[in-house]
Amino acid sequence: MTLDQQLRPDHRIGPDPAEAYYGGLFGWTVRRQGPRLFLALENGLCAVTLPKLSAGPVRAHLDALGCEGPSLILPTQQGPRLAILAETDGQLLVRGSLPADVTVLDCGALIPLPTGQQIPGVGPEWLTAPDPRHRWLPSVSAVLAGVRRRP
């Protein structure tokens, strides 16, 4: 089995509750790899990731604008990172224009999603869970404006 075959998400037959929730309510594409669940960043969906410790000013900026959207805490070897889901809004990003600790994930990248009960800090967790009553996302421009306001 090749590495590509090992990493390819499984395609199940039949209804999947997570797919029905994320896909049906939010229009997001969900993929499975064994027991793990991933959000596929496509169709205008992206994520801005940055260290959780420096995310406070970004979240405050989005809150002040009234456009704070869903965000996930992702544990990494370098410490927890916050992934703020956003709409790409046609923005073309020059990678060198971002601070070194900030990454924009898009174009088919996969973000792990929380599944069931888990130990906090071990797997992905929603910091701000998606809300079916507020299905819109902040624009990546608004998120990056908050990133640039950090000290």
Locate tokens 């410790």: which residue? 53
For the chain, what is the domain count? 1
Report which of residues 137 and 16 the model is more confident about: 137
* Domain assignment of residue 36, yes or no: no
Q: What is the pTM of this model?
A: 0.84
* Domain assignment of residue 20, yes or no: no
pLDDT band at 104 (very low <50, low <70, confident <90, very high): very high
Angle, vertex CA 117, rays to CA 111 and CA 123, nearest 5: 35
Instruction: Give the start-end residues of each E strand in 26-139.
Output: 29-33, 36-40, 45-51, 71-74, 81-87, 103-105, 110-113, 125-128
Q: Is the pLDDT of residue 8 over 70?
A: no
* Domain assignment of residue 107, yes or no: yes
* Domain assignment of residue 5, yes or no: no
pLDDT band at 83 (very low <50, low <70, confident <90, very high): very high
pLDDT band at 73 (very low <50, low <70, confident <90, very high): very high
pLDDT band at 9 (very low <50, low <70, confident <90, very high): very low
* Domain assignment of residue 133, yes or no: yes
pLDDT band at 4 (very low <50, low <70, confident <90, very high): very low
* Domain assignment of residue 108, yes or no: yes
| Of 21, 33, 55, the residue nearest 111 (C-alpha) | 33
pLDDT in tens, 25-59: 888 999 988 888 899 999 999 999 999 999 999 99
* Domain assignment of residue 23, yes or no: no
Structural domain that includes position 74: 44-148
